[in-house]
Structure 1
């Protein structure tokens, strides 16, 4: 398993780095593709739990909500959410009228997936669109990966105290601490390397990188545990099998989704 994880990481790391660096439509297409596949994985988890959402509505819902976040358009975002709510309600009411059972659960999932993936995924797009967003993104997202990997390795080597027995029994408090140390250090190192690339006066310093990387390493496990909750409910180990040794898309971007919004809020708070 560890060998498969390493092989996949060696392939993914340069590919994702190139697409982040390319930006524009390349990065946008990457995020939209990940969100789209993640939506279908979300639907699969729902089906595994005996819930039937409105599949036809969820994917356009994710795209519309993510667009509202990216364009910083409260009006568009509000319209997208309103359209999602009305459409989901109409569909599941019609389904119930024609004999469907448990419409409330299907209705809830139809709304929850586009909001979760659309809002958080939209911030992954918005992060890259910020001034110096290229370098912030190339700092924050790799730092999250290192924090995740560090937590995994430290947990395997020295983990004794369970972090979450029901949701993710292999996670430990020792692993979390390892991620909180290694992730920020790697983020600060990357920022120091980018120092010769970013424009003069940029807010991206190793000090800010250390702080934001610590914040995302601290909060991003929420995304991991949230997806673990859905997998437990659906009685599956992984959300999919796209990435050998790493599971599905949601298994890989669960921490990124949370990191994107935390990073964006930090940067805008300091004046980015």
Structure 2
């Protein structure tokens, strides 16, 4: 369908329509994991937008740049990925500081900080990752409040980084907040993973009954959402807890 529309737009020499179709094709390739194809199309879209006078600080161009940065992250091109994330973050921050923003801009900035943080986790720069996750969290709270899946995920990420850095108390604090909010979101399909993470923190603290309850809750949640991966993980955690208890007797 897109290719037919593209041919028509090209025949009519409709520059704007061609650019729009390239953008749709790029996003389709991106969502389907065809990253090389998506990269070429996104670059083409950027070039076409720039050639018609769209400033490089425009949200549309920044959003494309963000997706390109994430493609480079997936492709393990560390230099290009970091350059892309920093370009997006700095331009968005400048726009916001100059008062040129709306809620969509703030959401794009939060997304940029979140994706950049995940890149920083990949390259084991955890303190920087934590800082960016925290900024993304603060922005998301500012825009949408706390009772949503994005906040649960960000709190889970913050807790996970604390755990990896041996800050167990703060890890439990963030994950407890995540679980409290997640319990109000019955449609959250991956909530079981958050429950498992908090259970693991309690197990590390030697609080086995609390850990067991969380693993059981995770198992039930995964069962309700037909989440086979989390179901398997919760079962494994419960088995491990049982084995540990048996070994201590």
Using the size of structure 2 for normalisation, the TM-score is: 0.28
Between 1 and 2, higher relative CO (CA 8 Å, sep ≥ 6) is seen in 1
Of the two, which has the highest radius of gyration?
A: 2
